[in-house]
Amino acid sequence: MSYGFSVYFGLDNTKEENIKLLKDAHELGFTRIFTSLHIPEANYEIFKMEVRDFFKLAKEYDMDIISDISPNTFKFLNLEDMDLGGLKDIGVKTIRIDFGYSEENIAKMSKNQYGIKIQLNASTITEEFLKNLDSYSPDYKNIDALHNFYPRVGTGISEESMINKNNLLKIRGIKPCAFVQSNNRKRSPLKDGLPTLEDHRGMLVREAANHLFALGNTSVFIGDSLPSFNELKDLSSLNPEVIELDIKVKNKDEITLRLLGEVYSARTDEARDAIRASESRLILKGDVIEPCNTVNKEFGDITIDNKGYLRYIGELQILKANQEKDSRTNVVASVLQKDFYLLKYIHGGKKFHFNIVEQ
């Protein structure tokens, strides 16, 4: 799991802004950089001057530079077509195949001697393409996949499409990645954001990334030109392995707040009506939970069993169905409605935690 940002030379940012972005991202633990070396709107005179200086510093930071390539890319860099050694020399560690290469070419590049990784376009792959690729015996350990971003409003892919594409990739052990947009400086020329999912257009970086990780993506990139420091920080502080749920607390006693502050995993023997936390009873540490707010329970409510439930005391659940009140169960918080959709991803062993946004 990792985080990435994007840089577009000769477009929106000055050289100084791009270098500061690189330094800030590196300090926050970002390890991947996406860039494109064939942007029609870019000023190519500026482009050529900036690329090598930026790449040199990124190489010093040992960051994974991912570059969109096409046959024209090699010409631009004064390299022979498919000169992967030349790309490695300037700091490129991963090449994203955009267009112009056959399945045979891609399979051959996946077995290169330079240690360069190959990245597929996750949004456009098909079962037919992958079967054709299979026939050339590529090194799938050297391949991952990154979804497109979509500058035009209304053209981003659907969640259903992403899930279908990701499932095709995972069969072959290929890890999928995707983009979220920045709301700070959006990339030219349209400046409507660069998300992968249309649902994420205009959404906060952390919220959109949380969703992408829940969908099984292993890296999330900020697509736009100049994310704010807070956006970088929000993404880098997100745990990719844990689904974050924003909640409103109803019971603020010390024991309840302690239990709500833990990270949990959903039980593998999934209940019909609730997500049951595997660890909550084990971490109670002898504390006694008194009855409080034992009211009717609704979808999205978070409950903790009180001392009336005997050995079940401390059991934490997130309800997937309305239930009548029970004097043995405290309603301690509720998942905010905007995060209800995330509950369907919390199943069999999936980790989750709560972010208290209203008290």
**Cα-Cα-Cα-Cα dihedral sign, residues 211, 212, 218, 221:** negative
User: Which residue type occupies 193?
Assistant: G
Buried b (16+ CB within 10 A) or exposed e, 238-275: bebebbbbbbebbbeeebbeebbeeebbbbeeeeeebb
Which pLDDT does position 359 carry in this prediction?
55
Which pLDDT does position 178 carry in this prediction?
98
**d(Cα 352, Cα 243) in Å, to the nearest integer?**
5
Residue 86 tokens read as 């030349």
Q: How many alpha carbons fall within 13 Å on the CB side of residue 213?
A: 25
- pLDDT tens-place values along the chain, 359 residues long: 689 999 998 889 999 999 999 999 999 999 999 998 766 666 667 777 788 889 999 999 999 999 988 777 777 777 887 889 988 998 999 999 877 789 999 999 999 999 999 999 999 999 999 999 999 999 999 999 999 999 999 999 999 999 999 999 999 999 999 999 999 999 999 999 999 999 999 999 999 999 999 999 999 999 999 999 999 999 999 999 999 999 999 999 999 999 999 999 999 999 999 999 999 999 988 899 999 999 999 999 999 999 999 999 999 999 999 999 999 999 999 999 999 999 999 999 999 999 999 65
Of 202, 236, 243, 259, which is closest to residue 341 (Cα–Cα)? 243
Q: Rg of the chain over CA atoms, in angstroms?
A: 24
List, in order, residues 6 or more apart from 215 with CB less than 8 Å away: 159, 162, 163, 166, 345
Cα dihedral 166/170/175/177 (nearest 10): 10
Which pLDDT does position 40 carry in this prediction?
63
Residue 169 tokens read as 């990739």
CB 320 within 8 A of CB 299: yes
What domains sit in the chain, N to C, each tagged with a CATH number? 2-240 (3.20.20.70), 245-358 (2.40.100.10)
Q: Note the pTM of the prediction, 2 decimals.
A: 0.94
